[in-house]
Structure 1
Amino acid sequence: MQYRIDLTNDEVPDKWYNINADLPVELPAPKNSEGKDQIGTLPQIFVNECLNQEFATERYIKIPSEVRELYQRLGRPTPLVRAKGLEEKLNTPAKIYYKREDTSPTGSHKLNSAIAQAYYAKKEGVERITTETGAGQWGTALSLAASMMGIDCTVYMVRVSYDQKPFRKTIMELYDGKVHASPSENTEVGRKVLADNPDTPGSLGIAISEAVEDAMSDDKVKYTLGSVLNHVILHQTTIGQEIKLQLEKVEEEPDTMIACVGGGSNFGGSLFPFIKDKIQGNSDTEFIAVEPSACPTLTQGEYRYDFGDEVGFTPLLKMFTLGHNFIAPSVHAGGLRYHGMNTQVSLLRDLGYINPVAV
């Protein structure tokens, strides 16, 4: 019996998969709020190539050779492992497999997009990148990626996680990241939130607003993010493409695929290459998105236009949302405390391709 399915370095995907090419209906476009031009300010905030990828319609986008090489050097491909002990504990005839993204040097899948975004930033002459982080996994990955590219990185870490997980800050600083608890005194957004509620635990929405404000202060600074937007999921489809090849090697087709979901990058990156087959009528796989009951975006949120951040720097996005001012309880899974959801995941949930569960 094969308990671990490995791929060779040469089998690391050389392209990202873009589900925009296969969506059964057109993805609702971002909108400006009344009297503002958030869409017009996007080039001031984001790296140009990431913006191009955000709205791309090609089915596949080539991974730059430099990025693919870094994927290989930093641990890709990752193994797919048979959970034999769990099967026995559950006394189930099902075969259960799990993808070992934790083997990354930073402990999660986040490096897949961090490397790509830092690479494009460096290529465009950016000197510093800013970002938010919840539990710290994204901030850690981006700090490492920025350090490898020779650019500076500023991280706004949600205060509750900053206090709960002090060693995450230590790791980010080891990778040359500069970390602020959010809300902070470093931005106008942070100062206003603290003036209104000095004891706030913070939220990803607030941290995003701070990171965006910081990025807009200098044309040599750009904002990056670890989830929610389409180009982030695009980079993460490296995971799902590897899973697909690994299952083919043992002649397995999944009956059910399960992934946690906060903003959507892990879920979409792992499952979109399989959801494509279901959209095309070639699969009966069930796709389950598991979210915390403390932040039940897909199960209790509304499918409507809302801001991606606290104060409205972002355009309005059509997504499942609990409201951009929502502050989730201080649960340990800080990366899942986001009020909204990726627009692609939201559309597929609305169309019935995804079954959400809150736990």
Structure 2
Amino acid sequence: MENAVPHRLYLKEDQIPTQWYNLRADMPEPPEPMRLPNGAVAKPEDIAPVFCDELVAQELDDVTAQFDIPEPVREMYKIYRPSPLCRAYNLEQALGTPARIYYKFEGNNTSGSHKLNSAIAQAYYAKAQELEGITTETGAGQWGTALAEAADHFGLDLDVFMVKCSYEQKPFRRNIMETFNANVTPSPSDTTEIGRKMLAEHPDSSGSLGTAISEAVERALNIPENKGRYTLGSVLNQVVLHQSIIGLESYEAFKELGEYPDIVIGCAGGGSNLGGLIAPFMRDKLKGVRPDTRFVAVEPASCPSLTRGRYAYDFADTGQTCPLAKMYTLGSGFLPSPDHAGGLRYHGMSPIVSKLKADGYLEAVAVKQTDIFAAAVEFARLETILPAPESAHAIFQAMEEAKRCAETGEEKTILFGLTGTGYFDMVAYDAYNRGHMTDHIPTDEELEVGFATIPSIPGLQ
């Protein structure tokens, strides 16, 4: 049996899913609806000025289980999909574990991450609506890179607001975005009203995803003739929907192997890759087909929304211009430390992931960055892929679970998401290798500053 499992299993092109899967349709209770600041449930016309019409429909639909993937999107997917399901034989041997460790590798494309799965879809819908420009934010740079590729392919102008600490740490990410004709601005910036306000309050701010989102939304709303929209790379229901292609391909690959994961692990910042990876496996759990499967979200200890946050309605952005989502949150005013896992430095979490956690279907752990880099280095040496710092959170937890199997003798099957590569994160690897990396775990007092910005909504919270 062992010899029948290849190091990398690639599905065929005709096995690329033709539909995305909407996990909300099978949840016992769907996530709480998006709301306006006055507490009213958001209607399509309330968010249509911000998002493309088709994306609005996907965002608000808790009933439809399957959404057709447009043919132009599938054609673009074929450039880099299906992505491989890999067996980590060397890692298993090094850990002396009876566990079987698999990872779904999403880094084998120019953007270097899973982000392209949703970027292509969102750019396509913008073009189909005859828009001229789109805007976005990016943390570590993977989303901005992916959207730059997608926007260029469909002939759209793109403005990217990149979190300042990542803008400074990863100049080559910026260079790639510019190669694909994107305009990249460090956030907070003096190019928007919200950015100027943030700089006045925090002149030395290293930025946050919440602030970058606010700037991108403001820019989108000011594109002439209503020809612009904002796009988001994580958190939203629509993005989790697009990322379900990760889980759907993994599910099909496991069927070919005659395997099924006992534990599914993903890194968690906004929650889209995690939500996409777990989607079909969580469906089996919710329907009682595989009730014992465990799901683990791994987040940075420096930005611990799932493990130390509050489950409440909160703004998605620091400028409080977006509608509110019910999620685990540290407060839109929380300013995370400038850790190297920039893509996980978001104050909140996907409403879908948050609901699953609140209802007891999903576990969460928080990990220090020195620990995740130790795991990243060991993985790189054994499996020859240099992982992104974000992905290394999942690697760390997979190793922990495998070590427990070595102690108990249990032959569990572990699946984790390797969301991207770390070849643009060499400042981080240099800091770790030279012993200069430090950890920051916010105190309760620091968290209270963010919690104080969570809005009070009569009748809701």
- The TM-score, its normalising length taken from structure 1, stands at 0.98
Aligned to 1:44, what secondary structure does the other structure show?
Answer: coil
Instruction: State the match for 2:189 in structure 1.
Output: 184
Q: How does 1:141-180 map to 2 (within 5 A)?
A: 141-180=146-185
Aligned to 1:102, what secondary structure does the other structure show?
Answer: coil
Instruction: State the match for 2:52 in structure 1.
Output: 47
For 2:77, the aligned partner's letter is Y
Instruction: State yes or no: 1:290 paired with 2:298.
Output: yes
Instruction: State the match for 1:260 in structure 2.
Output: 267
For 2:84, the aligned partner's letter is P
Cα distance between partner residues in 1 of 2:297 and 2:105: 18
**Cα deviation digits, residues 272-307 of structure 1 (max 9, x gap):** 111011000111210000000000010000001100
Report how far residue 34 of structure 1 moved. 3.2
Within the candidate set 233, 236, 244, 2:240 is matched to 233
Cα distance between partner residues in 1 of 2:220 and 2:40: 19
Aligned to 1:103, what secondary structure does the other structure show?
Answer: coil
- Segments of 5+ residues of structure 2 without an aligned counterpart are 368-461
Cα distance between partner residues in 2 of 1:161 and 1:292: 16
Structure exhibiting the larger radius of gyration computed from Cα positions: 2
Cα distance between partner residues in 2 of 1:139 and 1:42: 22
How many residue pairs align between the two structures?
358
**Cα deviation digits, residues 137-186 of structure 1 (max 9, x gap):** 00000000000001111100000100111111001101111100000111
For 2:115, the aligned partner's letter is K
Cα distance between partner residues in 1 of 2:245 and 2:94: 31
Q: How does 1:275-286 map to 2 (within 5 A)?
A: 275-283=282-290, 284-286=292-294
CA contact (8 A) 1:322 1:340 kept: yes
Query: Comparing 25-34 with 317-326, which one deviates more in the overlay?
Result: 25-34
Within the candidate set 27, 33, 36, 1:29 is matched to 33
Cα distance between partner residues in 2 of 1:131 and 1:201: 18
For 1:5, the aligned partner's letter is L
**Cα deviation digits, residues 168-214 of structure 1 (max 9, x gap):** 10011011111000001110000111111110011000000000000
Cα distance between partner residues in 2 of 1:54 and 1:31: 12
Q: How does 1:27-176 map to 2 (within 5 A)?
A: 27-34=31-38, 40-56=45-61, 57-73=63-79, 75-176=80-181
For 2:235, the aligned partner's letter is V
Instruction: State the match for 1:222 in structure 2.
Output: 229
Aligned to 2:283, what secondary structure does the other structure show?
Answer: helix
Cα distance between partner residues in 2 of 1:18 and 1:36: 24
Aligned to 2:107, what secondary structure does the other structure show?
Answer: helix
Report how far residue 55 of structure 1 moved. 1.2
Cα distance between partner residues in 1 of 2:219 and 2:20: 30
- The TM-score, its normalising length taken from structure 2, stands at 0.76
Report how far residue 38 of structure 1 moved. 7.3
Cα distance between partner residues in 1 of 2:363 and 2:24: 20
Report how far residue 268 of structure 1 moved. 0.4
Report how far residue 35 of structure 1 moved. 9.1
Cα distance between partner residues in 2 of 1:115 and 1:31: 27
CA contact (8 A) 1:38 1:314 kept: no
Cα distance between partner residues in 2 of 1:38 and 1:16: 24
Report how far residue 63 of structure 1 moved. 0.3
Report how far residue 37 of structure 1 moved. 9.6
Instruction: State yes or no: 1:338 paired with 2:346.
Output: yes
For 1:307, the aligned partner's letter is F
Instruction: State the match for 1:348 in structure 2.
Output: 356
Aligned to 1:107, what secondary structure does the other structure show?
Answer: coil
**Cα deviation digits, residues 246-290 of structure 1 (max 9, x gap):** 111110010111110000111001111110110001112100000
Query: Comparing 115-124 with 305-314, which one deviates more in the overlay?
Result: 305-314
CA contact (8 A) 2:33 2:42 kept: no
Aligned to 1:291, what secondary structure does the other structure show?
Answer: strand
For 2:338, the aligned partner's letter is S
Moved over 6 A (4+): 35-38
For 1:32, the aligned partner's letter is L
Q: How does 1:318-333 map to 2 (within 5 A)?
A: 318-333=326-341
Within the candidate set 11, 18, 24, 2:22 is matched to 18
CA contact (8 A) 1:38 1:313 kept: no
For 1:66, the aligned partner's letter is P
% identical aligned pairs: 52
Cα distance between partner residues in 1 of 2:210 and 2:245: 27
Cα distance between partner residues in 2 of 1:38 and 1:256: 36
Within the candidate set 238, 245, 252, 1:245 is matched to 252
For 1:339, the aligned partner's letter is H
| C-alpha RMSD of matched pairs (Å) | 1.3
For 1:150, the aligned partner's letter is G
Aligned to 1:96, what secondary structure does the other structure show?
Answer: strand
Aligned to 1:58, what secondary structure does the other structure show?
Answer: coil
For 1:48, the aligned partner's letter is D
